[in-house]
Chains A and B, each alone.
Chain A
Amino acid sequence: MSTGPWVAVSPASAGRLGLTMLLFLLSACVPLKAAEPDDATALATRIDAAIQARWQKRGVVPAAAASDAEFLRRASLHIGGCIPEVATTRRFLADPSPDKRRQLVDHLLDSAGYVVNYSHFWRKAMLPEAGADRQAAQYGPGFEAWLRQELTDNTSYDVLVRSILTASPAADRRARDTAGVAAFRQSRQNEAPELATATARVFLGVRIDCAQCHDHPFDTWKQDDFWSMAAFFTGIRFTAAAFEGTEFRGPTIAIPDQDRTATATFLDGTRPDWAADTSTSQVMAEWVTSPGNPYFARATVNRLWGYFFGRGLVDPVDDFSAANPASHPELLDLLAAEFVAHQYDLKFLIRAITASQAYQLSSVQSDPAQNDPQLFAVMPVQWLSPEQISDSFALATGTRRQFTPYRGLISIQSGGSVTLESLFGEDGRSPTEREVTILQALALMNGNDTTRATNLRTSRTLAAVADAPFLNNGQKIETLFLAALSRLPTDRERERLTAYVESGGPAQEPHKALEDVFWSLLNSSEFLLNH
C-alpha cells in the first residue's frame, strides 16, 4: 500500500499518522481486494452519460468543472472526513499528472480517515436513535468499534449486513468484538415491529412504519404486509422437521387489535422455503442481501449517491415508493447491478462516483436552471457532519488532539465544555437544508476554540505562519488560506489582505492583523461547509 506522494508529517497529524501506521500494519496482514481502476472509470463514464442525457433533454448547461482545489477539499471531506493538510494541498495543486485525482481518491480510501469517517456514517444510518436517545446511545461505541474493524478490512457490504441482521459476526471474526454487531437489534430491544421497520428503512430504503397501525395512506403497503415482515423478527428458532405432517407455512405473529395473525412473508410477497433448520433472522438476512432482492442494492447505492451529491437519486434516501420515483431510474439500476457484480464493494462504488464528471462539477452556479437538484447540474453546498467540522477545525488550527473514537453521541448533561460536535449535532435534516443557529455563530465568533486558535500565543498554525522568516506577508496570508480553506487566495484577496496586514489593522500590529484574517477565514461559510 502506497501512501502517495503528497503526505507530509506535521505535528498536528502525528496522532493520525500513528493510527495510519497501525492500520497499515493490520491491513498488511489481511489480503486486500484487488483494485479495479478500469471498471470504476468505466462506470463513471456511464454515470456521466446518464446524467448528461438529462441535461441535454432539458437544455440545461451544467456548472463548470471543479478546480483542483475544489476537488481536493471536497473529496478529502467526503472520503477522509477532514480537510487536507497544507503540504498536501500545495503538492496536489502543483502535481502535473493527469490521473492525480484518481490517485487521491485511492489514497483517501486507504487512510485512517476513511475508516473513522464511515464508521460514523454507517452508524448514523443504522442506529439513528443513538444520536438522540439516551438508551440507544449506549450501543453506539461498540457498534462503531465493530464497524471500524469491518471497514478496515473492506468487508463487502452484503456480508456486513448479514452479520448485523443475525447479530453475530462472520465465523472468522468471532474472536474480535462481538458485542458491537448486536447493536442493531439490541438498540431496538429486539422488538419485532421495531426491527421490521428499521430493517426495511435502513437496508431496503422502504418506509413501512405507517402500515404498522393501518394500511399505508400514500403507498401500497397494507397492515398485513407490515406484520408479515415483522413475523420474521420474533427471534424464534425452530425446526421445520418438528412440523412434519402438518401444514407448516412459517412463523406467525399476532396483529395487535385485530383478530388474526400474519405469517412470515417477505416484502416482495414471497415466502422462504422452511425446509432446513434455520433461524428466522438468518432467513431474513439472506433474503435482504440476496442479489435477487429488488431493494437492497438500489437502496445502498442510492444512500451513497445521496451522501456524495447531497441528494439521492431517490430522495429522501430511505423512502423508495411509487409516489417518490428516482430522478434517473436506469442509472439507479445500473449502479445497483454493478455494485452486485463487484461483490458489494463499497470502495468500488466510491471510486466510480468520485471519478465521474458529475461529481467533479463546481458548486458555483453559473445558470439559474442548475437550481433543480434532480438534474445534478451543479454540486450543491452541503453541511458537514459534526465530526468533520470538529476535525477540520482542529487540523486547520493546528490543535493537537487525541484520537477519540466515541464522539458526537449525546453525553450526560453535567457540565463540561461545549464541544464543536455537540454544538453542531445532527438534527435529521438533509445536508443541503440545514441552517446555522445563533449559538453556533456565537461559538464560532467568540468561543474558546476560536479564541485560542486566533491568538498568536496559543495557536500553532498562527505561530508557525507569523514567525516564519522566509515568508512575506503575502505568503503568510496564502498559508492561512491553504490551512483553513484549502485554496490559494485570489489576486484581489491577496492584494487587499496584504495591505490590511501591512497596515497592522486597528491594533496597528501586523501580527494582530494576521489573527484577524485567520478569524475571518475560520468563521466563513466556505470553511464550515462542503462545496
Chain B
Amino acid sequence: MSRSDESRSSLSRRDWLRLSAGGAFGVSMSGWLPLLAAETARQPERKRSCILLWMSGGPSQIDTFDLKTGHPNGGSFKPIDTAVSGIQISEHLPRIARQMEHLAVIRSMKTKEGDHGRATYLVRTGYPPQAALKYPTMGSLLSRELAREGSVLPDFVSVAPFTGLNTAAYGPGFLGPKHAPLVVGGRQGFGGNYTDESLRVENLDGRGSVSLDRADARLSLLDDLETGFTASRPGVPTESHRAVYDQAVRLMRSSAGRAFDLSEESARVRDAYGRNLFGQGCLLARRLIEHHVPFVEVSLNGLPGGNVFGWDTHQNNFPSVQQLSTVLDAGWASLMDDLKGRGLLDSTLIVWMGEFGRTPVINGNGGRDHFPNAWSAVLGGAVRGGQCIGSTNAAGTDIAERPVSQADLMATICRALGLDPRKQNLSDIGRPIRLADPDARPVEELLP
C-alpha cells in the first residue's frame, strides 16, 4: 500500500461507512469531525489556507498589541498578561490573550503611506499604487496559488469588505476577474446591523420561484442557445459565460453551497462568535476553511449600528477601540478555538492588520491620527507563535529594532503558506511581477 493509503486506513472502514451513509460530510456537529480533520490536516496534499482579518481605518497599536503603560502616550487602557509570559496586550482582548502561544505579534511594521486609499492598496497588494499596473489584492494573489482543481466553492471569499476608498485594493488586478473574490455582506457600510440575510450569497438559491424540473428545463434551453452561439464566436466573453454559468449552477446545487448557511450552527456557537457582522463573518470563515476554501477575508469596518469608519479613531479613540476590541476578541478567539478543535489551526494562517497604525500622541479630541511609521500586525496559526517580532521605542514614536515593511510581511505570509514569494506572474502589460517585491525579506523567525 502507498503511504497515503496507509494514513487513510487509520480510520476504520466502519467509520467511513458510518460517515458517508449518514450524509454527515459538510455538517460540523458530531465528534468524529476532529478525527477526520486531523487526518486531513496531516495529509501532505492539504494545502494551507489563509484568513485575513482586515481592520478598516487603521487600528491603534498602542491600545491593542503594543501598550505603552506609564508613558503619557499610553492612554487609559491597562495591560493584561497573556498565555505567554513576558507578552502583555490590551485588557480588552482577554480571549485573544489566552491564544498568544499561537500568535506572533509584529510590533515593528513600518510603511510610508498615511492616506487611507493609498495605504490600503500598499498593504493589501504589497506594492505601492501605480497608474499603469493594477496589482492584485492579497486574496486574489494567494488563492490563485493555493486553489484546488475542480472546487465548487470559489477560491477567494470576501466578507463585508468596505471598498469605497480604493476599490482596486480589493480586486484581482491584472490576474483578471476569475480571481476576483465572491463578496458577501458587501453592502453593509460601516456598521450595518446583522441579520440572517447579511452574509448570504446573493441569489444563490432560486427563491422557490420554479421547481427543480423547470430549472433543469430552463438550463437545457439555455444550453441549446449557447451551443449555437458560442461555437462560432470563440473568445473570452463567450467562453467565460459558459464556464461561469456552469460553476454557478454547481454552486447552487451542491451541498458545499450550504457552507454559507450559518443557521446550521447552534445558537451557542453563534453567540460565542458574536451576533454581529464581524463575528458571524469569522464563523463563516471557519466553515469555508473546513470546505478547503484557500482564502477568506473578514473586514471589521465599524460597530453595529454605528456611523464611524471603523478603527479610524481621530476622536473618541478609547471608547471606540474598546468596543471594537470586544467585537474583535469574540470573533477572532472563537475562530482560533474552533480551528484548533478541528485540527485546522496549524494549516491555517491568520493575518490581523489594518492599513496603518495610529499616532502615539493623543490629539485634542481624545483621538489618534494616522501613523504608518511604527505599527503592529499579528500572524497566527501556521506560524511559530508565542513571540513578538521587533519593538518600538518607549514613546511608541519610532521603531527600536527590526523594521518590517509591507513587502517583508507579504513575503512572510507567502512562506508561511508554503509559497515562494519570488514566484512570478505575468502582468497584462507583459511585465513579470513576483508575489512579493524582490527586495522583500521574510521574517524567518516566524516560519515553522
- Residue B324 at the chain A interface, CB threshold 8 Å: no
Tell me whether B238 and A416 are in contact (CB under 8 A): no
Specify the chain A residue showing the minimal Cβ separation from B168: A132
Cβ B205 vs Cβ A446 within 8 A: yes
**Which A residue sits closest to B251, measured CB to CB?**
A438
Instruction: Please state if B222 and A523 are interface contacts (CB–CB under 8 Å).
Output: yes
Whether the pair B214, A441 counts as a contact (CB closer than 8 A) is: no
- Determine the distance from Cα of A438 to Cα of B153 in the docked complex, in whole angstroms: 10
Pick from A413, A521, A525: contact of B237, CB under 8 Å: A525
Which of A109-117, A353-361, A375-383 faces chain B?
A375-383
Residue of B nearest to A217 (CB): B431
Contact partners of A427 in chain B: CB under 8 A: 171, 177, 180
Give, as a whole number of angstroms, the nearest-CB distance from A138 to chain B.
12
Q: Does B254 contact A (CB under 8 A)?
A: no
Tally of contacts, chain A with chain B, CB under 8 A: 180
Compute how far the CA of A209 lies from the CA of B167 in the bound complex, rounded to whole angstroms.
Answer: 20
In the assembled complex, B186 has its CB within 8 A of some CB on chain A = yes
Query: CA–CA, A410 to B225, complex, Å?
Result: 34
Please determine whether A446 and B203 come into contact, CB atoms closer than 8 angstroms.
yes
Whether the Cβ atoms of A413 and B188 lie closer than 8 Å is yes
Stretch from A22-30, A220-228, A284-292, A428-436 that touches the partner: A428-436
Least distance between B46 CB and chain A CB atoms (Å):
24
* Partner-binding segment picked from A143-151, A237-245, A512-520: A512-520
List A contacts of B202 (CB < 8 A): 418, 439, 442-443, 447
Binds B, one of A340-348, A386-394, A499-507: A499-507
A29 to chain B, nearest CB (A): 42
Give the docked Cα–Cα distance between A382 and B249 (Å).
24
Q: Which residue of A410, A436, A529 is within 8 Å of B167 (Cβ)?
A: A410
Query: B114 on the interface (CB 8 Å rule)?
Result: no
Chain A residues near B448: list those with CB within 8 A: none
Question: Which listed residue (B177, B211, B222) contacts A437, Cβ 8 A?
Answer: B177
The residues of A that contact B221 with a CB separation of less than 8 Å are 497, 500, 516-517, 519-520
Q: Which residues of A contact B4 (CB under 8 A)?
A: none
In whole angstroms, how far apart are the Cα atoms of A363 and B178 in the complex? 25
Closest Cβ–Cβ distance, residue A352 to chain B (whole Å):
26
B376-420: contact bitstring with A at CB < 8 Å (1 yes, 0 no)? Answer: 000000000000000000000000000000000000000000000
Within the complex, what minimum Cβ distance (angstroms) separates B282 from chain A?
Answer: 20
Task: Determine if A271 is an interface residue (Cβ-Cβ < 8 Å).
Answer: no
A446 in contact with B207 given A134-B165, A433-B236, A435-B176 (CB within 8 Å)? yes
Q: Which residues of A contact B203 (CB under 8 A)?
A: 439, 442-443, 445-447
User: By the criterion CB–CB under 8 Å, are A520 and B218 in contact?
Assistant: yes
Interface membership of A67, Cβ < 8 A: no
B172-216 Cβ-contact flags toward A at 8 Å (1 or 0): 000011101011001111001000000001111111010101101
Interface membership of A414, Cβ < 8 A: yes
Q: Which of B164, B178, B182, B233 contacts A435 (CB 8 A)?
A: B178
Q: Which residues of B contact A412 (CB under 8 A)?
A: 164, 189
Task: Judge whether B237 and A446 touch: CB under 8 Å.
Answer: no
The residue in B214, B228, B249 that gathers the most chain A C-beta atoms within 10 A of its C-beta is B214
**CB distance A520 to B225 under 8 Å?**
yes
Please determine whether A521 and B241 come into contact, CB atoms closer than 8 angstroms: no
Residues of chain B at interface, number, CB under 8 A? 64
Please judge, given known A-B contacts A132-B167, A410-B167, A506-B217, whether A438 and B236 are in contact too, CB under 8 Å: no
Would A134 and B236 be within 8 Å (CB), given that A436-B241, A439-B182, A507-B211 are in contact?
A: no
Is A207 on the interface with B (CB-CB < 8 A)? yes
Q: Assuming A443-B203, A524-B225, is B166 touching A436 (CB within 8 A)?
A: no
Which residues on B sit within 8 Å (CB–CB) of A455? 209
A511 to chain B, nearest CB (A): 12
Which of B130, B211, B230, B248 contacts A441 (CB under 8 A)? B248
- C-alpha spacing A364/B163, complex, angstroms: 39
- Expressed in whole angstroms, the minimum distance between the Cβ of B206 and any Cβ of chain A is 5
Across the interface, do B237 and A414 meet the contact criterion of CB distance under 8 Å? no
- Tell me if A525 and B241 are in contact (CB < 8 A): yes
Contacts of B154 in A (CB 8 A): 438
Residue B134 is within 8 A (CB to CB) of chain A in the complex: yes
Out of A383, A438, A446, which one reaches B244, CB within 8 Å? A438
Chain B CB within 8 A of A467 CB: no
Measured between alpha carbons, how far is A437 from B156 in the docked complex, in Å?
13
> What are the interface flags for B237-277 relative to A under an 8 Å C-beta threshold, 1 for contact and 0 otherwise?
11011101101110110000000000000000000000000
* A428 → chain B closest CB, angstroms: 7
Chain B residues with Cβ under 8 A from A447's Cβ? 202-203
A102 and B262 CA atoms in complex are apart in Å by 58
**Is A531 an interface position by the 8 A CB rule?**
yes
Determine if A134 and B225 form an interchain contact, defined as CB atoms under 8 angstroms apart. no
- B131 contacts partner chain A, Cβ-Cβ < 8 Å: yes
- The answer to the question of A528 belonging to the interface, with a C-beta cut-off of 8 Å to chain B, is yes
Q: With the chains together, A445 CA to B219 CA distance in Å?
A: 10
B234 and A365 contact, CB distance less than 8 A? yes
Q: What is the CA–CA distance of A209 and B166 in the complex, to the nearest angstrom?
A: 19
* Residues in chain A near residue B149, CB distance under 8 A: none
* Contact pick for B232, options A132, A364, A442, CB 8 Å: A364
Give the complex CA separation of A264 and B116 in angstroms: 33
B34 adjacent to chain A (CB < 8 Å): no
Instruction: Please determine whether B187 and A414 come into contact, CB atoms closer than 8 angstroms.
Output: yes
Could you say which of A134, A445, A496 has the most chain B C-beta atoms within 10 Å of its C-beta?
A445
**B232 touching A365 by the CB < 8 A rule?**
yes
**How many Å lie between the Cα of A531 and that of B241 in the bound state?**
14
- B248 lies within 8 A of A445 (CB): yes
CB neighbors of B among A105-146 (8 A): 132-134
In angstroms, Cα B216 to Cα A49, docked, is 50
Is A415's beta carbon under 8 Å from chain B? yes
Cα distance A437–B235 in the bound complex, in angstroms: 16
Question: Given the interface contacts A414-B189, A427-B171, A517-B221, does A383 sit within 8 Å of B237 by beta carbon?
Answer: yes
Given the interface contacts A132-B167, A436-B244, does A446 sit within 8 Å of B204 by beta carbon? Answer: yes
In angstroms, Cα B130 to Cα A451, docked, is: 42
Does A210 interact with chain B (Cβ within 8 Å)? yes
Distance, CA A496 to CA B167, complexed state (A): 46
Contact sample, A vs B, 29 pairs, CB 8 Å cutoff? A132-B167, A207-B131, A364-B232, A381-B238, A410-B164, A412-B164, A413-B186, A414-B187, A415-B192, A418-B187, A418-B202, A436-B240, A436-B245, A437-B244, A441-B245, A442-B201, A445-B249, A445-B252, A446-B205, A446-B209, A500-B221, A505-B214, A505-B217, A519-B218, A520-B218, A520-B221, A525-B241, A526-B229, A529-B237
**Interface set of A (CB-CB < 8 Å, partner B):** 132-134, 197, 207, 209-210, 363-366, 371, 380-383, 410, 412-416, 418, 427-429, 432-443, 445-447, 451, 455, 490, 493, 496-497, 500, 505-507, 512, 516-517, 519-521, 523-526, 528-529, 531
Other than the given A432-B235, A506-B217, 16 more pairs (CB < 8 A) read A380-B235, A414-B188, A428-B134, A435-B237, A438-B247, A438-B248, A439-B203, A442-B202, A442-B252, A445-B252, A505-B217, A523-B245, A525-B237, A525-B238, A525-B241, A529-B238
Residues of B within 8 A of A (CB): 117, 130-132, 134, 154, 162-168, 171, 176-178, 180, 182-183, 186-189, 192, 201-207, 209, 211, 213-214, 216-218, 221-222, 224-226, 228-230, 232-238, 240-242, 244-245, 247-249, 251-252
Q: Top 4 A-B pairs ranked by shortest CB distance?
A: A435-B240, A506-B213, A520-B221, A441-B248
